[in-house]
Structure 1
Amino acid sequence: MLDALVVGAGPTGLTMASELVRHGLRCRVVEQLEAPSVLSRALAVQARTLEVFDDFGIAEQALARGRKTEAFNVVGAGGVHTRVPMQAFSWLETRFPFIFMLPQDATEALLAEHLDTLGVKVERGLALEDFRQDADGVEATLKRAGGGVERVKARWLLGCDGARSRVRKGAGIPFEGETYDDACVLADVRVEWPLGQGELVLMPSMHGVVGAFPMPGEYRYRLFCVMPRDMLPEGDETTPLTLEEMQRILERMSNVPVRVSEPRWMTRYRLHRRGAPRYRQGRVFLAGDAAHIHSPAGGQGMNTGIQDAYNLAWKLALVNKGRAPESLLDTYELERHPVGQMLLRGTDRLFGLMAQGGTPSRLLRTYVVPRVAKRLLGGSYTQRLMARFVSQLAIHYRRSPLSTERIWGEEVGGVRLEEGPAPGERVPELPVKGEGVERLHEVLRGPQHTLLLFTGLKPEAKARSGLVALARRLEEAYGPLLRARVVVAGEGEPGPFVLADGEGALHRRFGAGAECFYLVRPDGYVGHRERPIEPKRLEAELARRMGPPGAGGEKRVAS
C-alpha cells in the first residue's frame, strides 16, 4: 500500500509530492494531461513561496528563470500616469523582498525537476475515475489515456486537481461561491507602448480595466481586460480569442497607444469566487484550487496552494510514522481554511476596487484615481499593508492548537519575549553564523523540527556548555526529526551545535534577553516558545509533538 496518492501535477501537487517524499513517505503523482502544459497561467511567485523554494534548494534556479517587478503604474484617461515604486518590500525580513514573475509552466518544470531528483516522476495520462475509503485507507480507480484501468491502494488521497477536482466531487465536498458578472480576456503577448518595461500597469477606463504583468523576455506582458459582459466581443468563453480581437479590445480600453503581437496564449474566461467548506473528508484532503478559487487580483492563488501543501505534508508524515496522533491532521483545516477564506475576501475586495461598480465607480477610477494614486499608494502605511497581504509573509496560525507558549521569570536586557515571533508566526529571515550557514533559514532548511536554544544576552560559560550538551543529546535522540542549535550571544565564531550571534541581534529580535527556547515547525512557523529552559519540560514538549525519543531506524534526510 502506498502512503499517499497525489492527484494533480500542478504546482500544488508537485509541492505536495516533493514534501511527502522528503519526509520519507512513498507516494505516486498522477496527472490526466499527457504532457506538461505550455500555458503560463499563474504568474506571480510571492516572497513566501520563494522561501519554500529556498528550503527545497531551488530558489536560485527560480530567480534565474523569471524577473522582479520594481514598480506599479496607474494610467488614467488621457494618459495621466502615476508610477509608484515598490520600495515597501525592502523592510520585509526575507531574502526575497519583491514581487517575482515566473510563468506557471516554468514553475511546474522547476518543481518537476526537483521531484525527479527525489526519485519520483509524474505519471501522465492517468486520470482518477473514482475511489472509496475505509478506516485503513483509500482504493482509487485510475484510467489511462489508452483505456487501461488500474486500482491503487493508499493510506491518504490528496486532491490537488484544480477547480474541477474529481477528488472533491468524489468526497462529496461542496464548492460554494459565485461567478462574477464581468467578462475577461487574457493574452500573453509582446507589447509596444510608451510605458517602461518590467513594471505592473493598471489602466482603468469607462469600458473596464486593463492590467499588465511583466513576463520574462523583452516587451513581454500578461495582459488581462475586465469589462461588463455586454462589452465582450462576439462569442462565449469557449470561443477562441484572436490577436485581432485583442488589439481591438485594447484600442477601445487602453489609455495609451498600444500594439500587441507574438501571442503565446490568449483566452476568454469568467472569474469565480468559490471555496470548499472543509478541506478533509476522512482520508481525503483538498489543497490549492481544489479547495479555493478566486480572482487573480493580488497574485495569490498558486502561492496559496503551495502553502497548503507545505502545511499538510509534514503532518501526514508524523502521523504516518506513528509519531503523532491522527488528530494532528485536523490542524490542517484549522490553520489553512481561515487563510483560504481570507484570500477569497481579500481578492474579492481588490477585484471590486479595480473593476466592479457602475458609471460613478468607473468615472472615479478613470479620472480621479490616477491623479491621486501616488498619495494613496505611495505612503509607507499603505505600502506596508499591501506588502503584508501580497507577500504572504504575514499569514499566521496564532489561534492553532499547535501554537503554544509558557513564559516565566523576569525580562532581561531591555527586551521582552512577547515581542519576538509569537507561536504560530513565521520565523523571520536574519543573518546568523553557523557551520556552513550564514542565514537563519539555512539553519531551518530540511524536513525536521528545529530547536533554537538561546543563551540570553549575557551567557555564562557553564550555562553555554550545558545547553550545547543538551542540544547534542536531543538531536542524537530524535535523529532526523530534530535539529538542535544553541544561539550564543556575543560569540564571534560558530562551532558544533552553536550559532554565533555576535552583536546579539538575533536575541533581541526573538526577545531572548534571558535563556529561552523556540521550537520551529518543519514549515518554518513557531510551534512553541518557553522561558526559562527546563530540560524535563523541554523533553516533554518534544515528546508531545514528535513522539518519544529514538529515531526508530529512520535515516536523516538530506536537506
Structure 2
Amino acid sequence: MATAALLRQQGIAVRVIEKNDAPTPFSKAVGVHARTLESMHALGVTEQLLSQGHPMHSFRLVDNGQTIMQAKFTNISSAYSFVVGLPQSCTERTLLARLISLGGRVEWNTRLVSIAQLGDRNDASQAAQVKLQHADGSEEIVSCNWLIGADGSRSAVRELAGIGFPGGDYGKSFILGDVKVDWAGPKYELQFFLSKHGYLLLVPMPNGLHRIIAQTDKLYEDFQGDEKPKATLAELQAIVDRQGPGNMRVHSPEWLTCAPFYHRRADTCLQGRTLLVGDAFHLFSPLGAQGLNTGFQDAFNLAWKLAYVEKGWAPVGLVDSYRDEREAIAKLIATITSKTTDYITATAWHRRMMRRLVTRWFNPTPKVQEQLPRLLAGLMQAYDGAQASPKGLPQAGTRVPHAWIPEGLGYKPLASLIHGNAFTLLLIANRVDTRTLQQLQAFCSQHLPLMPFLKVKLVTREVEAIDVSMPAGVEVIEDRLSSIFEAFDVTERAQVLVRPDGFTAQSSHGWSLDAVTAHFNKAQFAARPARTATREELVSHEA
C-alpha cells in the first residue's frame, strides 16, 4: 500500500492485487521507528500514525532480575526520539485511506496465477505479463511496465518468478500474543527479560494491550508436520510466570500464535521488470522491529525511481540502483539481527554468564548509549555516495540530519519538507543580499524549466533589504533557531541536494550550482514527455 500510494502521488497508474478479502485484522508487526515516521511525511500520514500509537522512549535488558543494559531513544537526533507501538492493522488502514484519497483502490479476492514473462527493463517493448484470477473465477491476462512483489514472506511473485529465498531458522520457536496485562511495571519502554529458559519481550501498545514474544521449548521440527503446535493463553501465562518480571497476569488475548523465526533473503530483488519489496525480499528476526521498517524504506527508495523512469525524467538504469542500495542494506540488517537473536536467545550457562559480563561492561559506552538507539531507529542506514562530501556536511548517501524549521508561530521538522516527490536543493546562506539573489535567478531561469523534479529552498539567518525580487519557485526558510546551520555544521554558505527519500545526493561548502546540473546530467536526468496511461488503465484498473 505504501508503494502504491507513493506511485499514485506521482500520477502513475497502479493496480494493487490482493488475494485476501480485507486488510489484516491482526496486529502482526508493532514497532514503528523514527526513520519510518520521518519518511511517512512523503505521504502526509506521520501525525495519524503518531496519534494511534503508543510511544516508548527507552529499552531495557533484565537478566535474572538485574538490569544489564538500558538505553534511551531520546538520545537520537530526530523529531521522533522514540519507537511507536502500533499494530500493523492500524498502519494498513491508514495507508489504505491515503491510497483511496489518491484515487487508488485494492482489488480484493484477486490472485496471481502465473507469470508469463518477467519483462526486460532494457527493452521498452518487453513488458511483464501475468495471469490474474478474480473472485468470480474469471481470469485476466495483464501486461505491466513493472511487476512489484510486496506480497510477504510467502510471496507468489517471488516464487513464480523463480527467485530463490535462501536462509534458515534459529532452531527455536516463540509464542507471540497481544494481551491485556495486570502489572505495575513501566509502560514507556521495551523490556527484554532473559533467563536460563530463554527470553521474553514486552512491548506496550495502545488501548492497554501488550505484545509479548516469548521463547518456548518447542523446536523448529515440531512445526514441520501436518499438526502444528497451537498457542494458548495458559501456555503464555506459564511462560510469563517462569521467564517474566513476576507478578504479571495476562488475559483478554486479541491474537495468539506460535511459530519458529526465520532469516531469509531473496537471491535478487530485481529480475527483468519484476521487483521485490518488504518481506517478499527479506525476512528478519522480529527482535528490534526491523522487518516492517526496512520494508517501508524499500518502498520509499523504489517508488520515486520508478515514477521518474515512467515520466521520462530518468533512464531505466535508475531502477538498478534500487537493487544495489537495498540489497546491501538487507544484507547488513540480516547479519545484525541474526547475531542479536543468537545473543539474546542463548540458554547455555557459559554463554549467559559471558552475555551478562560483556553487556554490563558495554552498557555505559557510546556504542550502546548513542549508536545502538540510532541503529535500531534506522538512522544509520546509508548508501554508497557517488563522491565524498566535505567534512561536517551531510555525507552523500546518508540520511539528512534532523533540524527544525519555522511554521507559523511554531516549528516543524525538516523531514516534513524534504520527503516527497521531488529532489530538494537546500541553499544555505548566512545572509541573503542582492548578489546572492542575482546568482539564484540566473540558475532558476536557465535550469529549473528543465528540472521539473527539483524544488529550491533558500535557508538563511537574515534577509537584507534588497531590490531584486525572489526568483519564482524558490521558498525562503528563515532559520531563526539556526537549527539547520548547526545540524549541517555551516558557518557562511553551503548547499545540500536531497533525494525524494530524504537521503543526501551531494553536498558542498559554498554554492556550486553547476554541480547540481552536473549531478543530473551525469545521471542522464532530463525532462522528456511522461508516459501517458491508457484510458482503460486510468478508469478501469487504476488502484
TM range (shorter): 0.7 to 0.9
* Per-residue CA distance 1:12-32 (angstroms, 9 max, x = gap): xx1110111112210011111
Moved more, 386-395 or 300-309: 386-395
Identity over aligned residues, as a percent? 30
* Contact 1:29–1:123, Cα closer than 8 Å, also in 2: yes
> Which residues in structure 2 correspond to 1:122-141 (within 5 Å)?
122-133=106-117, 134-135=119-120, 136-141=126-131
- Find the counterpart in structure 2 of residue 229 from structure 1: 218
Q: CA RMSD in A?
A: 3.0
C-alpha distance in 2 between matches for 1:76 and 1:356:
12
* Contact 1:474–1:484, Cα closer than 8 Å, also in 2: no
Cα distance change, pair 216–474 in 1 and its aligned pair in 2 (3 A): farther
**TM superposition score normalised by structure 2:** 0.87
Cα distance change, pair 427–75 in 1 and its aligned pair in 2 (3 A): closer
* Contact 2:76–2:370, Cα closer than 8 Å, also in 1: no
- Find the counterpart in structure 1 of residue 80 from structure 2: 96
Moved more, 517-526 or 335-344: 517-526
- Find the counterpart in structure 2 of residue 337 from structure 1: 327
* Per-residue CA distance 1:160-212 (angstroms, 9 max, x = gap): 01111111112221111111211211111111234223432211122221111
C-alpha distance in 1 between matches for 2:407 and 2:344:
47
> Which residues in structure 2 correspond to 1:40-51 (within 5 Å)?
40-51=27-38
Cα distance change, pair 259–154 in 1 and its aligned pair in 2 (3 A): same
* Per-residue CA distance 1:112-159 (angstroms, 9 max, x = gap): 111111110111111111112344211111112442212211100001
Q: What is the DSSP-based 3-state SS (H/G/I as helix, E as strand, rest coil) of the residue aligned with 2:48?
A: helix
Deviation at 1:474, TM superposition (A): 6.1
C-alpha distance in 1 between matches for 2:531 and 2:242:
67
* Per-residue CA distance 1:537-556 (angstroms, 9 max, x = gap): 533433444733588799xx
Moved more, 533-542 or 146-155: 533-542
Deviation at 1:387, TM superposition (A): 1.1
C-alpha distance in 1 between matches for 2:277 and 2:223:
36
* Contact 1:176–1:275, Cα closer than 8 Å, also in 2: yes
1:280 matches 2:270: yes
- Find the counterpart in structure 2 of residue 389 from structure 1: 375
* Contact 2:181–2:251, Cα closer than 8 Å, also in 1: yes
**TM superposition score normalised by structure 1:** 0.85
Structure 1 gap segments, 5+ residues each: 1-13, 408-416, 555-559
Moved more, 471-480 or 184-193: 471-480
Q: What is the DSSP-based 3-state SS (H/G/I as helix, E as strand, rest coil) of the residue aligned with 1:175?
A: coil
- Find the counterpart in structure 2 of residue 155 from structure 1: 145
1:384 is matched by which residue type in structure 2?
A: E
1:463 is matched by which residue type in structure 2?
A: R
- Find the counterpart in structure 1 of residue 342 from structure 2: 352
* Contact 2:495–2:512, Cα closer than 8 Å, also in 1: no
> Which residues in structure 2 correspond to 1:293-312 (within 5 Å)?
293-312=283-302
Deviation at 1:74, TM superposition (A): 3.4
1:34 matches 2:21: yes
* Contact 1:467–1:486, Cα closer than 8 Å, also in 2: no
Which residue of 95, 101, 104 maps to 1:117?
101
Deviation at 1:36, TM superposition (A): 1.5
Cα distance change, pair 37–438 in 1 and its aligned pair in 2 (3 A): closer
- Find the counterpart in structure 2 of residue 498 from structure 1: 476
Cα distance change, pair 81–127 in 1 and its aligned pair in 2 (3 A): same
Q: What is the DSSP-based 3-state SS (H/G/I as helix, E as strand, rest coil) of the residue aligned with 1:465?
A: helix
* Contact 2:61–2:70, Cα closer than 8 Å, also in 1: no
- Find the counterpart in structure 2 of residue 453 from structure 1: 427
- Find the counterpart in structure 1 of residue 414 from structure 2: 440
Moved more, 246-255 or 26-35: 246-255
C-alpha distance in 2 between matches for 1:271 and 1:433:
45
Q: What is the DSSP-based 3-state SS (H/G/I as helix, E as strand, rest coil) of the residue aligned with 2:317?
A: helix
* Per-residue CA distance 1:460-502 (angstroms, 9 max, x = gap): 6232222442464368514641111222243499976322234
- Find the counterpart in structure 1 of residue 437 from structure 2: 465
